[in-house]
Structure 1
Amino acid sequence: MNAVVLNAPHEISVEKRKRPGIANSKDALVKVIVAGICGSELHPYRGQQNTTYGHVMGHEFTGIVEEVGSEVKSFKSGQHVVGTFSTACLSCWFCRYGHTNRCVNSLALGTQQIDGGQAEHVRVPNADGTLLLAPDDIDDELLVLMSDIFPTGYYGAMRAITQFRQPGEGVPETKLFEKQPLSEAVFVVVGCGIVGLCAVLTAHIRGVQSVYCVDSVDDRLEQAAKMGGIPLKLGRDDIPAIVRAATDGRGADAVIESVGNKAALRSAFDLLRPCGILSSVGFHQSELPFTGLECYQKNLSINFGRAPVRAVFEEAMHFFVENKSRFSEVISHRLSLAEAAKGYAIFDKQEARKVVLKP
């Protein structure tokens, strides 16, 4: 079969690889229909991540089940499915309590751990927890967003929303304490790639009327405005001053950071008010750009890490299907698998919103 392989930083090739088969009784073999290139794949592509090379890339894919192992209960040959970006066994302590992002048996697809879905076929371990049936009313190009980026953006926004502290909550009702409605909250999304756009839409639809969107790319900011956000351009707008003016000098109630670098994370920290919420879903590779003392002095609530896509999938899918028309312009490039190197190059240069590959 043909497969996309990362051989070294900035070196993508399409190679002939042996078609995978069922290696474990809980495996499924999927014939890929659409595979996506994700922003987190740019870390190894750029050489910014400690990794080995030579593996098949891709953790976003949709396809048709061709074969299943003897212990697979939820799927059979011929079913239309979407894969989540990391495997989930559904039986360990973390999976049973909804923390599928930290499954003890998890494998990150498209890494040195296991070959991924930017290929004609992909082997999916723990298929019952890693695959989900595709709904009938959404095409594969949009469905591939549900492998990772939409649930991740949704999760980042919902963590901020659910942890939004309303003054007076948890204390006796007195005239000394007032509750701040979510509709009056000021959120900031730092980074308006596709994950950030998904976070913008989620926060806006869920009731946050002021969602400021920070990026340096005009096209991304235009898309953020269409999702209900208020664009702020790096290098042009005085972003801290604008956020302070919108909050009587306090700072943002919550910041969702989806970039994954130190500068973005520091900006998110600085934009927050005391007792604010930092929800980071960026794939960070280095030390934090703030100290424990700074966190203490701000009394921040801070969340980091990958989304538990399997755990939030049904809720996120329902929201996604209801708002799928808002994503009509998100996919900017549709390429054949043979054009994968071009896809990575234009995505790396921020010349594409979202690139999908079709075997």
Structure 2
Amino acid sequence: MGAEVLFAIDTIPERLAKAKQFGAIPLNASLTDVKEQILSSTRGRGADAVMEVVGSEQTLKLAIDILRPGGTISSVGVHTAKYFAFSPGEAYDKNLIYKSGRCPAHYYAEKLLMEELPQRYAIEDIITHTFPLADGARAYDVFDRKLDNCIKAVLVT
């Protein structure tokens, strides 16, 4: 990502442990005041960029709260709320750059998974479960309910 300091925010200890393995500073949102921690770590400035991947009102509000003025929020979580978690005034006061939209995942998947990421990371370190393609529904259930400490599940043919 090119970040000098990378914070990983989650409530699942196994995911935070993996994030730490990959060099991020883990922050457990259920145990830590994330906003206070990030503002303290950045001497009150806030994060230059925030990637919001959950799609909830709470995580989008946290994103703007921890962002520095003039910073960028890239929101790839699927939002279903009728309204934004922040007001136009908050966006204006922060001089917010907000990016959202569908990712052309198929376009990037092969390049990222086969070329880019393996040069930097051992991808298999985040894959905790594999399932045959025919068990796709079960795989999603295990991932969705975080059964057996599932971080990422992969379907194989």
Is 1:357 equivalent to 2:155 in the alignment?
yes
Q: Give the Å deviation of 1:271.
A: 0.8
Task: Tell me if structure 2 keeps the 8 A contact 1:227–1:326.
Answer: no
Determine if the alignment matches structure 1 residue 321 to structure 2 residue 89: no
TM-score (norm 2): 0.86
Q: Displacement, 1:311?
A: 5.9
CA contact (8 A) 1:258 1:282 kept: yes
After superposition, give the CA deviation of every residue in 1:189-242 in whole Å (9 maximum; x if it has no partner): xxxxxxxxxxxxxx2xx3x22101100000000110111100000121121111
1:285 aligns with 2:99: no
Quote the RMSD (CA, aligned, Å).
2.1
Pick closer, same or farther for the CA change 1:270–1:307 going to 2, 3 Å: same
List, as ranges, runs of 4+ consecutive aligned residues in structure 1 with deviation greater than 6 Å.
none
**Residue type of the partner of 1:277?**
T
- Residues 230-284 of structure 1, C-alpha deviations (whole Å, 9 max, x = no match): 0000121121111111111121111111111111111111111111111111122
Alignment deviations for residues 23-55 of structure 1 (CA, whole Å, 9 cap, x no partner): xxxxxxxxxxxxxxxxxxxxxxxxxxxxxxxxx
* Larger fraction in helix: 2
> 1:339 — aligned with what?
135
* 1:296 is the counterpart of 2:92: yes
Identity of aligned residues (%): 35
Write the letter of the residue equivalent to 2:51: I
Higher relative contact order (CA 8 A, sep 6+): 1
Larger radius of gyration: 1
Question: How has the CA–CA distance of structure 1 residues 275 and 218 changed in structure 2, closer, same or farther, with 3 Å as cutoff?
Answer: same
TM-score by length of 1: 0.40
Q: CA-to-partner distance for each residue in 1:59-87, whole Å, 9 max, x for gaps?
A: xxxxxxxxxxxxxxxxxxxxxxxxxxxxx
Aligned to 1:222: 17
In structure 2, list runs of 5 or more residues that go unmatched: none
Q: CA deviation at 1:315?
A: 6.1
2:44 aligns with: 249
CA pair 313-336 structure 1, distance change in 2 beyond 3 A? closer
